[in-house]
Amino acid sequence: MTSIFQLTPQTIGMLLGCIGVAIFGATLPMTHIALHGFSPWFLTFFRAVIASSAAIPFLMIGKHRLAIPKTPEIFMAGLLLVFGFPGFATLAMETVPASHGGVILGILPLMTAIFAALIGGEKPGLLFWGLGLLGAALVLTFSLIESDFSLTIGDLWLLAAGFSASLGYVLSARLSRLMSGGATISWALVLTLPIAALGTALTWKTGIMAPQTDALWALAYLGYGSMFAGFLFWNAGLVTGGIARVGQVQLLQTFVTLGLSALLLGEHISNLTIAFAVAVGSVVWLGRKARIS
């Protein structure tokens, strides 16, 4: 049996990325549930406060107490990942179903690859770009067939969320080459904590609307899972396997989100969804061997 230590860095990176995507995939359904008890802006700020309660102990362990390199870049990554993506996604979930959100964000991996080429120092080859475009085309085709797709204001918020996430991923992955992926997201959370705390205080009275148990559990997941634990695996995967290559794993997040939306929210999932998921998974698998210098 092959040991994990015999796997290539690209394969290990893909596996770590898959764990991160599995955690991220529940974000939109959990946001939908949490909105039953909290306002969008309170949810955006307080989930960051919750994540910071895990980030601070993490940074107190061993080497993570070292000086912070490139502080402005960490702060920018924090703004994009801690506030940009969650804020825009939460606004979108007020007007579109979680399954629709998963479809729209199918273009996120291609956006991540573009930023990886522009500012991440990576140079994907023609095969990679071809597979990336094929994967994005499959997801967009699926959206047209399955979801009666039409642009609404919620979809525009989702596009803004995708832009924030893709740029934030590349910035945090660049920083994770200098420190661990966990340290990068932890510093991003700590440096933006004053903003999160202020926003929580300002929205406290109007942002809590008699939440039931499911909304409280969803809020906890968004803080400890989506905002913290997911990035431990995701950043490590991007650094180990390459930003552009591992970023393509997120093509599968659309289908993770759809599956969880069906499980948690009772939203419809069809055989066609499964067929497209298999096709997209095949593209991601082929892309792991594409040349990236």
Of the pLDDT bands very low, low, confident and very high (cuts 50, 70, 90), residue 4 is very low
Say if 244 falls within a structural domain: yes
Say if 293 falls within a structural domain: no
**Across residues 34-42, what is the average pLDDT?**
90
Evaluate if residue 268 carries a pLDDT over 60. yes
- The count of other CB atoms within 10 Å of the CB of residue 270 is 12
Say if 292 falls within a structural domain: no
* Partners of 38 in the β-ladder: 208
* pLDDT computed for residue 52 by the predictor: 95
In b/e form, how buried is each residue of 204-220, taking b as 16+ CB within 10 angstroms?
eeebeeebeeebeebbe
Share of the chain above pLDDT 70, in %: 83
CA distances from 159 to 88, 189, 231, 235, 237 (A): 8, 23, 21, 22, 24
Of the pLDDT bands very low, low, confident and very high (cuts 50, 70, 90), residue 169 is confident
* pLDDT computed for residue 105 by the predictor: 65
Say if 125 falls within a structural domain: yes
Say if 152 falls within a structural domain: yes
In the chain, what's the furthest Cα-to-Cα distance?
57
- Number of domains observed in the structure of the chain: 1
Say if 251 falls within a structural domain: yes
Say if 278 falls within a structural domain: yes
User: pLDDT averaged over the chain?
Assistant: 80
Range of the domain at 85: 4-287
Q: By mean pLDDT, which of 4-18, 38-52, 135-149, 217-231 is the weakest?
A: 135-149
